[in-house]
Structure 1
Amino acid sequence: MLSPGSPFPLGATLSPNGVNFALVAPNAEAVELCLFDGTGQHEQQRIRLPAFTDGVWHGLLPSGRAGLVYGFRVHGPWAPHAGQRFNPARLLLDPYAREIVGRYDGSDLFLGHDPANPAQRNARDNGAVALKGRVAAAGGSSAAPGHARIPAGERVLYELHVRGQTRLHPGVPAALRGTYAGLAESVVLDHLQGLGVTTLSLMPVQHRADEQRLLAMDLSNYWGYNTIGWFAPEARYWSGRAGTTPASEFRALADAVHARGMELVIDVVYNHSAETDEFGPTLSLRGIDNALYYHLRADDRALYANWTGCGNCLNLAEPRVLQLVMDSLRHWACELGVDGFRFDLAPVLGRGANGIFDSRAPFFAAIAQDPVLSRTLLIAEPWDIGPGGYRLGEFPPGWLEWNDRYRDTQRGLWLRQGREGAAGLGDFAHRFTASSAQFAHQGRAPTASVNFITAHDGFTLHDLLSYEERHNLANGENNRDGHAHNLSNNCGVEGPTDDPAVQAERGRLQRALIAALLLSQGTPMLLAGDELGHSQQGNNNAYCQDNETTWLAWIGAHDPASEAARLSAFVARLVALRREAPVLRSTRWWPAQPPEGAPDIHWLRPDGQPMQEADWHGGTALAILFEAAAADAGAWLVLVNAGPAAVSFALPAGSWQWRLATDDPAPDAAAALQQPHAGTVEVPHSSIRIARR
């Protein structure tokens, strides 16, 4: 029997008195707690939660213990056009479940509606196959909650996929490849730390359900942007080692990252759920209280607002839905050690009941006042497909934002000269100094701009220089999916080639783009595998490719003579150079008229004269001179030649030592350039050179 227990905390909470269950379902008529055997296949007991307080159904099971497998059946009206989709024949996953049993297989047993008549309930019981929660043991971690721990100007992000990073890594034990434990292996973290990475940004690791369409094609949502369990680490990335759980293994990964002095950020999806649209499965929220959890269309509440392109949107304008998100974030920060979050399709989180984005929405206010979450690293993907969905630069102070305009400007300058999408020097300078038009307001710093050339969504760096067109047929969508506007350049040959001239040009442009990224003001983000020359064979939307397409190939990565090792060493030298030169990672905006003796930046033509208005609209070469404060006689010079021919630059007064040249990939290139130079220097085409006075 159940005693009334408590309406808080929500979810299944273990205590010396048993397990307390609490579920938010204010529009439900009754809630049944269903208990299963350890496999989750056989229902053993069904008990009604006895108490209902302020919209929360709750009860205490005195005999409850850790490891108990459970789910809920929620009773209420079936009235889709009124927004209500209750169906007690559906066993429902607790949205607060810390560990999840089972996997959605795409069968119509998971549908809340009759597949032959969507207006009617699906009367078949799905308890044996439904997703269920497992009561977690009390957390024993004494480690401090996660928080931002890297100075803003020193942060270098590295976006990676837990499975893809180590699935083929020869230095990781076979049983650990593709897992949290595999990512925590020293050989993996050594590589990342050697590059100079400070912050690992993991693609989604919260429990997901694959779309029925993908399952029918024997594919999966590899990227993971289809969450259904916001408290549970994805069990597919768990090694299964005895004595561990997905949660304990993830926490061990966080501890291993922290032991290196690095940060751990996770990509989170609170904008939509895996239940998709009105024809999707009923796994959890839809059956618990559909009208509470989702934005429904005003003209027909059987339909969902779809500002995500994924079929539905969570309604954070509802306090209980906001509470779910905040409780989940605190769980990952406090219990699992996460230092920050990258929010997928973040404008959805700031949309009210009217659908309008507001940077002062309840979600942003709740984050700002939270004593734990306000200290974490907060990164927005600042767009969705809703009304006014592009919000770059409009998130609150303290937030960072992915800057896709930086990406397009760099590609446009280096890869598209004379073609559609070309960028000029004015755009380049604006993005190089952190996009002040978007971010220099409300006290926001240049580091608010997350600069990137490539990310998981789109071509890898290798493919950006190898393919003019996307090659996504393996995704099963007739090559219609993915970006059509890639601003890429195949250097004359589509795909792989043995032509040494084409290979050399691709290598030269790779190094120039990486240098531009790491020398720019703002927060740089590298895509995992770009330093290894990873290719997805032209697939620029490999979201459903859990195979060698996306798994990083580490062949030659530790052979100093290999291209992968040379490119990794080049990235490491650039990051070290960035650390050495504070002016290149300044956290202050460069003033138009700096005070006497203060650091300053000068934009010069190749002839050494200051850039004039007309110069910004044409040409492909300029010099950027960073003057240090008067107390420091040093200065830094960046020479940029994105054009097709060599350019002669007149050097500013002084004796200059070359620190890096992107046209020379040799590891000892910097040493060969150490002789002081003055007067003029010729910079080859598609190249950057960096010098110190």
Structure 2
Amino acid sequence: MDRSAAAGRAYPLGARRIDGGTNFSVWSRTKGALELLLFDDVDDARPERVIRLDRMRNRTAYYWHVFVPDVGQGQVYAWRVGDSSAILLDPYGLAVAVPAAYDRMAEARADRDTRTAMKSVVCDLSGYDWEGDVPLGRPFARTVIYELHVRGFTAHPNSGLGPELAGTYAGLVTKIPYLRSLGITAVELMPVLAFDPQDAPAGLVNYWGYSPVSFFAPHAAYASTGDPVDALNEFRTMVKELHRAGIEVILDVVFNHTAEDGPDGPTFCWRGLDNETYYILDPVNPARYLDFTGCGNTINANNSVVRRMIVDAVHHWVDQMHVDGFRFDLASAMTRDERGAPMADPPIIWEIESDPVLAGTKVIAEAWDVAGLYQLGSFVGDRWREWNGKFRDDLRRFVRGDRGTVALLPNRLLGSPDLFGSRPAEVEHSINFVACHDGFTLNDLVCYARKHNEANLSGNTDGTDENYSVNCGVEGPSDDPEIERLRTRLVKNLLGITLIAMGVPMIVMGDEVRRTQLGNNNPYCQDNEMTWFDWSLPDRHADVRRFTEKLIDVRLELDMTQVMHGLPLREFLTRSLVQFHGCRLYQPDWSDDSHTLALTVRSVIGTRMVHAMLNSSEAPVDFELPDVAEPDLPWRRIVDTALDPPDDVADLASAQPIPGTTYRVGAHAVVFLCADLHDDSGGSRGPSARIP
């Protein structure tokens, strides 16, 4: 071993600056030798130093460790095992450097070129000035999530940013005023953990980022300098500024697979260090991987070593990077054991659930995987929230006008008690959405009847074929004003129901301004204007943007978000005195041919009633209105998507009183009314409350 290096210690894992040098530690059960490679530059053809670790001096149990004096921040390094030529990233590395000659498939060949390999970088996390910042701890009841892509949000040439800021963490900071104007309370960032941009069809790039090469390092390409060390502080400054604006940061994390693909894929890290530990292998043929993710491999998340790595990673993002929560991609894959069987009580899920560091952190599951394990409503744990795919599908079908959908609405509008009613947690267990990164945008749901994924170079075979979408008579863009009017109305219907329904609403970047992906429902490999936020849209579709802003304001003023009642969903619904109606009061039509539903909900503290009327038929419908508490506390119109702006939406203070005992709801329209149950305003409640 290099005489200048000392034995080091097993803990902490990774590369940590201590005592005038750096301690390196990594876990591996290899029977061969382990080498630490130190490079002067990421592009170098060979390491400047090779430190061969001694099994007796530099290994404790299966932890290999070494202390190297005078090694500081910015040192490029990697691991090498035995006689392999693979250059391996540190699984606990805090930064990942990508060489100019990086070649994904070179990492799959037996004779690798050092110049093509990603490498880790030593980082010192101390010294950053958080200026008193802490995670915000906003309750789910007062959360409105906005899913966005860091690069895509500001990469468009019309973003107003120069090339040094466009598509970066710092670029996102410049757009915080826009996010604040929308009223959203949390951003859910698509993957920002370092990923392989070449994991895509030839000639394209991996844009989404669901191809991780590290669980601890921020993606360096999103830093304005492109430097992997700078990325740490630029990311932290982005979080700090979002917090200053009252916006939480939720990370979309991929702990179900890695960028190493199947047996013929590249070796970046885990496969080279301890393949049997990190992955679920075929018990019959351990040379094969069990693939429950559609990405060639599945992380062995319930192995004790892997479980510790995942928990350490989320601790890092909470403690050192101040994020507020996580959305776990294909979380059901994390519930499988080492043979691939689903576990009744998967240790990794319960460890995250019960971890005191994460007690105030939002944890959200995508409760399925691609091998058919669908755990929506049955995902283990009490505090896990779940992306509600049934909300998405049922709402799309109803708004499209499908038969047999009215009977599905009560559950979806009221927090999905059929899925979450037995949970002891609060009402807000369901993450309600009708569009996300995966699938059609909200605009494309009403402009395309089928997917158009030809640009992905897979013969239009990728992406789901069933989108529950409608093109309103023309496939794609239309200059027919009546078609455009109907499309805008349907977009408002979907937004309105999502933002008012019980649960936690989530919209995706650009839905508020009718962003299109030209009918592509799987643009994971499209890093171009197809997926970028077009900054001309906020003006072009100002009416939809205003509708979204106003409705978010209304949601955050309602009792269900103002009062922290802490009630389980079924008890909450019982106290809310929910009543269902059809066109006539107390006579809902649950038949397959029905396209109308109304419901009345009282707040649990008895201050207000909300009345919703939904009509997905092709003709206007007259609905009877329930009685109000007092004649001078009438129904007021909050939303009517059939009306032109500015009458389509109003805030609670300026909502106009509705005379009479019936209300006509236009074709393909949604109406929300509100009425106070008692007057606490002292006579200053806005427009005249008494109806002549």
Task: Please give the residue correspondences for 1:111-130 in structure 2 after superposition, counting only pairs within 5 Å.
Answer: 111-112=108-109, 122=110, 124-130=111-117
Task: Name which of 524, 528, 531 aligns with 1:550.
Answer: 531
CA distance 1:606–1:354, shift in 2 (3 Å): same
Which residue in 2 is equivalent to 1:172?
Answer: 161
Alpha-carbon distance between aligned partners in 2 of 1:306 and 1:243, rounded to the nearest angstrom: 31
Local SS of the residue matching 2:177 = helix
Task: Name which of 436, 444, 455 aligns with 1:474.
Answer: 455
Return 95-104 or 294-303, whichever deviates more.
Answer: 95-104
Q: Counterpart of 2:502 in structure 1: which amino acid?
A: Q
Superposition deviation, residue 686 in structure 1: 1.0
Task: Name which of 621, 625, 637 aligns with 2:600.
Answer: 625
Superposition deviation, residue 239 in structure 1: 0.2
Task: Name which of 431, 434, 454 aligns with 1:453.
Answer: 434
Task: Name which of 662, 666, 675 aligns with 1:684.
Answer: 666
Q: How many residues align?
A: 655
Q: Counterpart of 1:682 in structure 2: which amino acid?
A: R
Q: 1:245-291: per-residue Cα shift (whole Å, max 9, x none)? A: 00100000000011012110010111111000000011111111111
Task: Please give the residue correspondences for 1:259-274 in structure 2 after superposition, counting only pairs within 5 Å.
Answer: 259-274=244-259
Alpha-carbon distance between aligned partners in 1 of 2:170 and 2:192, rounded to the nearest angstrom: 13
Does structure 2 retain, via aligned residues, the 8 Å contact 1:521–1:584? no
Q: Counterpart of 2:16 in structure 1: which amino acid?
A: T
Which residue in 2 is equivalent to 1:83?
Answer: none
Quick check: 1:26 aligned with 2:52?
no
Does structure 2 retain, via aligned residues, the 8 Å contact 1:153–1:447? yes
CA distance 1:622–1:588, shift in 2 (3 Å): farther
CA distance 1:397–1:173, shift in 2 (3 Å): same
Task: Please give the residue correspondences for 1:148-547 in structure 2 after superposition, counting only pairs within 5 Å.
Answer: 149-168=137-156, 169-185=158-174, 188-211=175-198, 214=201, 217-240=202-225, 245-358=230-343, 360-386=345-371, 388-417=373-402, 422-547=403-528
Local SS of the residue matching 2:207 = coil
CA distance 1:590–1:486, shift in 2 (3 Å): same
Which residue in 2 is equivalent to 1:110?
Answer: 107
Which residue in 2 is equivalent to 1:116?
Answer: none
Task: Name which of 49, 52, 56 aligns with 1:48.
Answer: 52
Does structure 1 retain, via aligned residues, the 8 Å contact 2:142–2:561? no
Alpha-carbon distance between aligned partners in 1 of 2:399 and 2:42, rounded to the nearest angstrom: 56
What fraction of aligned residue pairs are identical, expressed as a percent?
A: 33
Q: Counterpart of 1:515 in structure 2: which amino acid?
A: G
CA distance 1:300–1:146, shift in 2 (3 Å): farther
Alpha-carbon distance between aligned partners in 2 of 1:630 and 1:301, rounded to the nearest angstrom: 59
Q: Counterpart of 1:157 in structure 2: which amino acid?
A: I
Return 338-347 or 584-593, whichever deviates more.
Answer: 584-593
Alpha-carbon distance between aligned partners in 2 of 1:603 and 1:249, rounded to the nearest angstrom: 51
Alpha-carbon distance between aligned partners in 2 of 1:515 and 1:492, rounded to the nearest angstrom: 23
Superposition deviation, residue 592 in structure 1: 8.1
Does structure 2 retain, via aligned residues, the 8 Å contact 1:412–1:423? no
Which residue in 2 is equivalent to 1:661?
Answer: 640
Task: Name which of 121, 124, 135 aligns with 2:122.
Answer: 135
Which residue in 2 is equivalent to 1:606?
Answer: 583
Alpha-carbon distance between aligned partners in 1 of 2:230 and 2:605, rounded to the nearest angstrom: 57
Superposition deviation, residue 13 in structure 1: 0.8
Return 377-386 or 622-631, whichever deviates more.
Answer: 622-631
CA distance 1:589–1:52, shift in 2 (3 Å): closer
Q: Counterpart of 2:194 in structure 1: which amino acid?
A: H
Superposition deviation, residue 394 in structure 1: 1.9
Superposition deviation, residue 173 in structure 1: 4.2
Q: Gaps spanning 5+ residues in structure 2: where?
A: 629-633, 676-692
Alpha-carbon distance between aligned partners in 1 of 2:487 and 2:169, rounded to the nearest angstrom: 34
C-alpha root-mean-square deviation of aligned residues, in Å? Answer: 2.3
Superposition deviation, residue 609 in structure 1: 2.6
Which residue in 1 is equivalent to 2:77?
Answer: 70
Local SS of the residue matching 1:264 = strand
Alpha-carbon distance between aligned partners in 1 of 2:198 and 2:252, rounded to the nearest angstrom: 19
Superposition deviation, residue 69 in structure 1: 0.8
Q: Counterpart of 2:597 in structure 1: which amino acid?
A: L
Does structure 2 retain, via aligned residues, the 8 Å contact 1:148–1:375? no
Q: Gaps spanning 5+ residues in structure 1: where?
A: 76-86, 113-121
Alpha-carbon distance between aligned partners in 1 of 2:426 and 2:507, rounded to the nearest angstrom: 20
Q: Counterpart of 1:102 in structure 2: which amino acid?
A: V
Superposition deviation, residue 616 in structure 1: 5.4
Does structure 2 retain, via aligned residues, the 8 Å contact 1:345–1:382? yes
Quick check: 1:38 aligned with 2:41?
yes
Task: Name which of 75, 83, 96 aligns with 1:100.
Answer: 96
CA distance 1:105–1:556, shift in 2 (3 Å): same
Return 32-41 or 671-680, whichever deviates more.
Answer: 671-680
Alpha-carbon distance between aligned partners in 2 of 1:213 and 1:201, rounded to the nearest angstrom: 23
Does structure 2 retain, via aligned residues, the 8 Å contact 1:657–1:691? yes
Local SS of the residue matching 1:261 = coil
TM-score of the two chains, using structure 2 as the length reference: 0.90
Superposition deviation, residue 356 in structure 1: 2.4
Alpha-carbon distance between aligned partners in 2 of 1:250 and 1:38, rounded to the nearest angstrom: 23
Alpha-carbon distance between aligned partners in 2 of 1:651 and 1:236, rounded to the nearest angstrom: 56
Does structure 2 retain, via aligned residues, the 8 Å contact 1:141–1:335? no
Superposition deviation, residue 303 in structure 1: 0.5
Q: Counterpart of 1:567 in structure 2: which amino acid?
A: V
CA distance 1:198–1:615, shift in 2 (3 Å): same
TM-score of the two chains, using structure 1 as the length reference: 0.90
Does structure 1 retain, via aligned residues, the 8 Å contact 2:74–2:123? yes
CA distance 1:12–1:679, shift in 2 (3 Å): same
Quick check: 1:3 aligned with 2:10?
no
Which residue in 2 is equivalent to 1:641?
Answer: 615
Which residue in 2 is equivalent to 1:81?
Answer: none
Superposition deviation, residue 605 in structure 1: 1.8
Q: Counterpart of 1:70 in structure 2: which amino acid?
A: Y
Alpha-carbon distance between aligned partners in 2 of 1:530 and 1:260, rounded to the nearest angstrom: 21
Alpha-carbon distance between aligned partners in 2 of 1:663 and 1:266, rounded to the nearest angstrom: 37
Q: Counterpart of 1:331 in structure 2: which amino acid?
A: H
Q: 1:55-111: per-residue Cα shift (whole Å, max 9, x none)? A: 011111112122111111111xxxxxxxxxxx5211111111111112584454312
Q: 1:497-555: per-residue Cα shift (whole Å, max 9, x none)? A: 11111111101111111111111000110010011111111101000000000001111
Does structure 1 retain, via aligned residues, the 8 Å contact 2:572–2:604? no
Alpha-carbon distance between aligned partners in 1 of 2:603 and 2:302, rounded to the nearest angstrom: 48
Q: Counterpart of 1:161 in structure 2: which amino acid?
A: H
Q: Counterpart of 1:97 in structure 2: which amino acid?
A: G
CA distance 1:374–1:616, shift in 2 (3 Å): farther
Which residue in 2 is equivalent to 1:88?
Answer: 84
Superposition deviation, residue 599 in structure 1: 3.5
Superposition deviation, residue 40 in structure 1: 4.0
Alpha-carbon distance between aligned partners in 2 of 1:610 and 1:20, rounded to the nearest angstrom: 72
Local SS of the residue matching 1:626 = strand
